A and B are shown apart, each in its own frame.
Chain A
Amino acid sequence: MFHRSRYRTAVVAAGVLALALGACGSGGGSSNGQDLSGNRVGAMSSYNVGDQFKATEALSFSMLYNNHPNYPLKNDWLFWSELTKRTNVSIQQVAVPLSDYNQKRSVLVSAGDAPFIIPKTYHPDENAFISSGAILPVSDYIDLMPNFKDKMTKWNMKPEIDTLRAADGKFYLLPGMHERPWQDYSLAIRTDIMDQLKLSVPKTWDELYTVLKAMKTAYPTVYPLSDRFSKPTPGGNLFNILGSSYGAPGGWGYNHATWDADAKKYFYTGAGEKYKAWVTYLNKLVTEGLLDPESFTQDDDAARQKLANGKSFVISTNAQTLVNDYRPDLAKTIPAAKMVKIPLPIGPAGEVNPSSRLENGIMISKKARESKNFVAMMQFIDWLWYSDAGQEFAKLGIEGVTNKKDSSGKPVLADDVNVVGLHPNASKHLQKDFGFYNGVFAYGGKPELVQAFFSPEEQAYQAVVGVRKPAPWVTPPPAPFTDEEREQAALWETGLKDYVFQQTLKFILGQRPLSEWDAYVKELESKNMTKYMDLVNKAYDRYKQANG
């Protein structure tokens, strides 16, 4: 992990250097005006919400393609031919293995060799490329994208999108958008054990403690909770969902500065009282033998093996791992076992949904702006990724081939097509054979679309968790850094994050007593925590003054 991040830093550094040199040569002549008269070739003169985009002449755009090992790219997919038929556009893919997508993206953007369309980019990855000027401030061009604008206003996405803005007030990533936040990750519990011990499904983390305690009493040799998703980030999921319910997410969701909506200010996450509260909770679980201390070092397979062999009863899950991993594993080892994903337990932060409504997004290469087909390209992107028709096409495919209308007129998967195990005996696969429901093109959208392939069980889960109100810290007020600030912050962040993660584990595992918490906060201060927070607050004030 360290090696990789160091490498990435090196890549980015080299890229910045290369671009700095390049920029000197070209003199940065192009003004960023809105004069698009020379870029309208192939574009529709009138294109609005509800219109089918079709280029007036055959066009082709280059695009970075994240190749998924489960459905390797095929050029004869129905997706490609139908897309061209409908839009008159063909996509030239630059295929990159999923395993190293981010690295190749860095190299291509830094070397000035990036394709026009760069999808599958997770905020804040795009920040690394802003200062070099290699990617387009897309916020300047959303007038070309009626569907994007429509969804942004209709779904009230402005607060979320504001979190993407850079110090210049622009955003550089076209994000995927969910109408409602979708919380997938939670815990899975062996309900047969709970029935046997006459326990009910825990609604809060405190109730979970009681359940774990009862399990431990009945099975003293077992660690009731032995977790997975700890590589490369220890406690990746657990620290995230638990921390979220305390208002200070850790693990995957760790941000250095977290917004405190009550106090109306940012605090340093790893030093806050909320963070300490959940660390204390986990420390209690470990001390009482309820949580396997190996949870934070073992790989996923080890955790799965413990669960499959009845050495643990509770584990992190999402809808897929429950169906693909735990249930099949248990069916072979402990056939009587029953496993259920429980609604995300509630903590001191109340009934909140800690998921963001933003998805990964698309960067546009600056070169594309010079293309005579630029307007057509933006219209094309708008149709495919943001229109209802485009989203439905990318996910569900074509009516009569991959989907059919059910009695209520809602499109459902055709009988002879399989995806996510819905029709296990079908001869064809929606992703592998047709190229639909492709992670590059299909994400977000209306709840009906997001939940199109959900099992009844998962829909029931969403009915409980989906109605919780969005957590306030998910859409904090913008506090964007300038380029220099970001560079400075990045230097401090590495040291701080390593230290916070390392000490978090020590506190949880009891290797360091919680009475030393204040000393730990002092140590963070010596690692520039205070200066870092000054930087965040400065950026917050600056943005507030400039934008009201």
Chain B
Amino acid sequence: MVTIDSGLKDLRAARPRRIRLSKGYRVFQVVNGIVLTAVVVLTLYPFINIVARSFSEEAYIIAGKVNLVPRGFDLRAYRLVLNDELFWTSYRNTVVYTFVSTLIAITLTTCFAYVLAKKHLKGRNALIGIAVFTLVFQPGLIPNYVLVTSLGLKNTIWAVALPNAINVFNLLVMKTFFENLPVELEEAAAVDGLNTYGILLRIVLPLSKAVIATMVLFYAVTFWNSWFGAFLYMDRLDLFPVTVYLRNLLAGATGADFMGSAPGDVVQSAATIQAVTIVLTVVPILAVYPFVQRFFVTGVLLGAVKG
């Protein structure tokens, strides 16, 4: 006990000296802390507000009394949305689309990026050029639509999954990452008798978990949130993802565009229903973040900074 106490005393005694050394830094830290806390509040507030709304009674929302805490606790909106068959159909579609699309996207992006990372590849610059070209010059909406339609992809999952399978930004990040892997590892593997696929599968990929996890997250979030492709290429309600369902619910809420139409036509979906749908749509993808977080920073930085 005595030794520990004295040890602590030593520490305390030692402290001021260190602080004196870093006064400017301490000011920076305080300012930094305040600014970042403000950012956290700014980003979290609308979110918590929506969650609070989803549990509140409609009247309190209209009266503008719901801020951070639900008022007039009410689960009816949840019951209503969860009992809506169409909501679940849309939800299932979103899950399926996201899973399949992400799988395709990550496979194709990894393969392409790995190939592009090989400096001895003939025509490598042309391939990179083609990829970057699509980043700068995008085809118009109509040509895209005509292409997808004439390929017979309309009303299938492929209309959503294939056109966006390779995101060039993600591709370049991955390419840089692969370029920075020590060549010696692959050479050693080759000496040990592995062919190209073996090297990729057994040496490179296990070393690339960070970047792959990051890319999976990027892709999954994008596909989960996307609605335009499905909206454009799907003609049936039972094929729409939940984002289209949600968008129709929210964007329809101001009836201005439809003035003069039949009275039943003016959209009035309750504020609680909107909040509930938003919460239910966002929660799953939000729940994924913490698990991928630890790969996230390393993954992106590895690719970007060293490149």
Q: Which residues of B contact A419 (CB under 8 A)?
A: 264
B268 within 8 A of A: yes
The proximity string for A residues 63-105 relative to B, scoring 1 for CB distances below 8 Å and 0 otherwise, is 0000111101100000000000000000001111111100010
CB distance from A190 to the nearest CB of B (A): 16
Which residues of A408-456 are within 8 A (CB) of B? 419-420, 431, 437, 439, 442-443, 453
Q: Name the residue in B244, B250, B259 with the highest tally of chain A Cβ atoms < 10 Å from its Cβ.
A: B259
CA–CA, A15 and B141, complex, Å? 9
Which residues of A153-203 are within 8 A (CB) of B? 184-185
Q: Which residues of B contact A431 (CB under 8 A)?
A: 264
The stretch of A140-148, A318-326, A336-344, A515-523 that contacts the partner chain: A318-326
Q: Which residues of A contact B254 (CB under 8 A)?
A: 231-232, 299-300
Contact B63 A305 (CB under 8 A): yes
CA–CA, A420 and B262, complex, Å? 11
Which of the residues B142, B256, B259, B271 comes within 8 Å of A232, measured between beta carbons?
A: B256
Q: Which residues of B contact A122 (CB under 8 A)?
A: 260
The answer to whether A72 and B63 touch (CB under 8 A), given A98-B248, A360-B261, is no
Q: Which residues of A contact B258 (CB under 8 A)?
A: 98, 439
CB distance from A296 to the nearest CB of B (A): 13
Q: Which residues of A contact B260 (CB under 8 A)?
A: 122, 184, 355-356, 359-360
Contact B261 A99 (CB under 8 A): no
Contact A437 B264 (CB under 8 A): yes
B140 within 8 A of A: yes
A18 within 8 A of B: yes
Q: Give the nearest-CB partner of B140 in chain A.
A: A14
Contact B256 A18 (CB under 8 A): no
Which of the residues A14, A67, A97, A420 comes within 8 Å of B264, measured between beta carbons?
A: A420
Q: Which residues of A contact B231 (CB under 8 A)?
A: 96-97, 100, 104
Q: Give the nearest-CB partner of B148 in chain A.
A: A111
Q: Give the nearest-CB partner of A70 in chain B.
A: B267
Q: Which residues of A contact B141 (CB under 8 A)?
A: 10-11, 14, 107
The answer to whether A100 and B64 touch (CB under 8 A), given A300-B254, A321-B266, is no
CA–CA, A324 and B255, complex, Å? 13
B180 within 8 A of A: no
The answer to whether A309 and B264 touch (CB under 8 A), given A95-B236, A107-B142, is no
B265 within 8 A of A: yes
The answer to whether A329 and B252 touch (CB under 8 A), given A104-B231, A420-B264, is no
Contact A320 B266 (CB under 8 A): yes
CA–CA, A18 and B249, complex, Å? 32
Contact A439 B262 (CB under 8 A): yes
CA–CA, A232 and B257, complex, Å? 9
The answer to whether A69 and B249 touch (CB under 8 A), given A113-B149, A420-B263, A437-B262, is yes
A252 within 8 A of B: yes
CA–CA, A11 and B141, complex, Å? 7
A217 within 8 A of B: no
Contact A18 B235 (CB under 8 A): no
Q: Which residues of B contact A107 (CB under 8 A)?
A: 141-142, 145, 232
The answer to whether A69 and B248 touch (CB under 8 A), given A94-B235, A113-B145, is yes
Contact A97 B259 (CB under 8 A): no
Q: Which residues of A contact B265 (CB under 8 A)?
A: 68, 439
B86 within 8 A of A: yes
CA–CA, A67 and B249, complex, Å? 11
Contact A99 B252 (CB under 8 A): yes
Contact A320 B268 (CB under 8 A): yes
Contact A439 B64 (CB under 8 A): no
Q: Which residues of A contact B149 (CB under 8 A)?
A: 111, 113
Band of interface residues on B: 35 or more
Q: Give the nearest-CB partner of B59 in chain A.
A: A332
A301 within 8 A of B: yes
Q: Give the nearest-CB partner of A101 in chain B.
A: B257
Which of the residues A184, A309, A332, A360 comes within 8 Å of B263, measured between beta carbons?
A: A184
Contact A14 B268 (CB under 8 A): no
B62 within 8 A of A: yes
CB distance from B194 to the nearest CB of A (A): 49
A333 within 8 A of B: yes
The answer to whether A70 and B268 touch (CB under 8 A), given A95-B237, A111-B145, A309-B64, is yes
Contact B256 A252 (CB under 8 A): yes
A369 within 8 A of B: no
CB distance from A317 to the nearest CB of B (A): 11
Band of interface residues on A: 35 or more
Contact A231 B256 (CB under 8 A): yes
Q: Which residues of A contact B256 (CB under 8 A)?
A: 229, 231-233, 236, 252
A211 within 8 A of B: no
A110 within 8 A of B: yes
Q: Which residues of A contact B262 (CB under 8 A)?
A: 437, 439, 442-443
Contact B143 A18 (CB under 8 A): yes
Which residues of B38-81 are within 8 A (CB) of A? 59, 62-64
Q: Which residues of A contact B151 (CB under 8 A)?
A: none
Q: Give the nearest-CB partner of A240 in chain B.
A: B259
B293 within 8 A of A: no
The proximity string for B residues 283-295 relative to A, scoring 1 for CB distances below 8 Å and 0 otherwise, is 0000000000000
B251 within 8 A of A: yes
A465 within 8 A of B: no
B107 within 8 A of A: no
Q: Which residues of A contact B247 (CB under 8 A)?
A: 97, 99-100
B282 within 8 A of A: no
Q: Which residues of B contact A14 (CB under 8 A)?
A: 140-143
B135 within 8 A of A: no
A304 within 8 A of B: yes
Q: Which residues of A contact B245 (CB under 8 A)?
A: 69
Contact B264 A18 (CB under 8 A): no
Q: Name the residue in A10, A301, A319 with the highest tally of chain B Cβ atoms < 10 Å from its Cβ.
A: A301
B32 within 8 A of A: no
Which residues of A285-339 are within 8 A (CB) of B? 299-301, 304-305, 308-309, 318-321, 324-325, 328-329, 332-333
Q: Which residues of A contact B140 (CB under 8 A)?
A: 10, 14
The answer to whether A15 and B142 touch (CB under 8 A), given A68-B267, A97-B248, A99-B251, is yes
Contact B264 A304 (CB under 8 A): no
B269 within 8 A of A: yes
CB distance from A386 to the nearest CB of B (A): 16
Which of the residues A11, A69, A301, A359 comes within 8 Å of B271, measured between beta carbons?
A: A301
CB distance from A304 to the nearest CB of B (A): 6
CA–CA, A309 and B95, complex, Å? 42
Q: Which residues of B contact A17 (CB under 8 A)?
A: 142
CA–CA, A483 and B59, complex, Å? 51
The answer to whether A98 and B142 touch (CB under 8 A), given A107-B232, A309-B63, A332-B63, is no
CA–CA, A73 and B235, complex, Å? 12
CA–CA, A325 and B271, complex, Å? 11
Q: Which residues of B contact A359 (CB under 8 A)?
A: 260-261
CB distance from B10 to the nearest CB of A (A): 61
CA–CA, A250 and B291, complex, Å? 54
- Since A14-B143, A231-B256 are in contact, a sample of 4 more A-B pairs with Cβ atoms closer than 8 Å, ordered by chain A residue number, is A98-B258, A99-B248, A318-B266, A320-B268
29 A-B residue pairs with CB within 8 Å: A14-B140, A17-B142, A68-B252, A69-B248, A69-B249, A69-B269, A95-B236, A95-B237, A96-B235, A97-B252, A98-B267, A99-B247, A104-B232, A107-B141, A107-B145, A110-B142, A112-B146, A236-B256, A236-B259, A304-B62, A308-B62, A318-B266, A320-B266, A329-B59, A329-B63, A419-B264, A439-B261, A443-B261, A453-B264
A-B CB proximity, top 9 nearest: A99-B251, A332-B59, A97-B248, A439-B265, A305-B64, A14-B140, A94-B235, A14-B142, A69-B248
Q: B residues near A, CB below 8 A?
A: 59, 62-64, 86, 140-143, 145-146, 149, 231-232, 235-237, 240, 244-245, 247-252, 254, 256, 258-269, 271
